[in-house]
Amino acid sequence: MIKESREKNRLLIADDSKMNREILKEILGDEYIVTEAKDGTEAIELLKKEEDSFSALLLDLNMPETNGYQVLEWMNEEYVIERIPVIVILAEDNHESIEKAYELGAMDYFTHPFDMFEIQKRVAGTLNLYKKYENLIMASKQVIYVCNSDYSRILYASDGFCRKFNVERNNPYNVLIARGISFYIDENGNKKSVDQWFRDADEKMYKDKKESR
């Protein structure tokens, strides 16, 4: 869960290299509260006990015993991946590793050697994107309320939303990126909020039903 701006966000850094953890803490420690895990097993235990207190996980993929991929798999099984964004740490820019991490729900990555500016920007960008995601979840709850929990109407809005932004509903990464969009441009070139689009979709469904009778 992303904390309010008046509070420092808390990061969990999971890396079997003490030196790497110390470097990352030095880079991020002024802006965030940093908690360290020396391996994947310890990271999972901390997430089990203190999940709600973490704003993001920086996860080394190449750890002994419980590696980063296994942590991501556990996060998917327990639905933790939906609540805590993950940035993976790679020894090198390996496309296969990056693709696998994305498939398991990772949001971003960075590689060795560490670049202070890049890491700071990637962490801040990921947290901002997840904040937008949380805001849209709240908007979605309002849609459910407006639809009076009519599941068919909610599905109509969800399908239309994905079509509007040209994303696949079964691709969590793409859908998440789409959910980071707060506004869209309609057919007449007018800027509208995503909330307004949901309302327009709902009205259109009723109009279509009425005309088909």
- Residue 106's domain comprises 10-132
Contact 74, 51 (CB under 8 A): no
Residue with tokens 């020396």: 38
94 lies in the same domain as 191: no
**Same domain? 118 vs 164:** no
In a domain, 113, yes or no: yes
Q: Any alpha helices (H) in the chain, and if so which ranges?
A: 18-28, 40-50, 68-77, 95-103, 116-146, 151-164, 172-179, 194-212
Q: Are residues 111 and 152 in the same domain?
A: no
Number of domains in the chain: 2
Q: Are residues 31 and 87 in the same domain?
A: yes
Task: Establish if 92 belongs to a structural domain.
Answer: yes
Alpha-carbon distance of 81 to 126, in angstroms, equals 13
Tell me the mean pLDDT in the region 119-127. Answer: 94
Exposed, middle or buried, 117 (CB in 10 Å: 0-12/13-18/19+)? exposed
In a domain, 2, yes or no: no
Asked if residue 172 and residue 95 are part of one domain, the reply reads: no
- Residue 206 falls within a domain, yes or no? yes
Q: Are residues 125 and 153 in the same domain?
A: no
The answer on 151 and 128 residing in a single domain is no
pLDDT tens digit sequence for 185-212 = 555 666 656 556 656 655 665 565 556 5
- The verdict on residue 85 lying in a domain is yes
Least confident of 11-15, 69-73, 74-78: 74-78
Q: Which of 133, 68, 75 is nearest to 101 (CA)?
A: 68
| Model confidence, pTM | 0.65
Dihedral sign from CA coordinates of 51, 72, 179, 170: negative
Residues 121 and 178 in one domain: no
pLDDT tens-digit profile of 6-58?
A: 589 999 999 999 999 999 999 999 999 999 999 999 999 999 999 889 999 99
Q: Between vectors from CA 114 to CA 117 and to CA 36, what angle results, nearest 5°?
A: 100
Last residue of a domain, one of 132, 158, 179: 132
pLDDT confidence of residue 98:
92
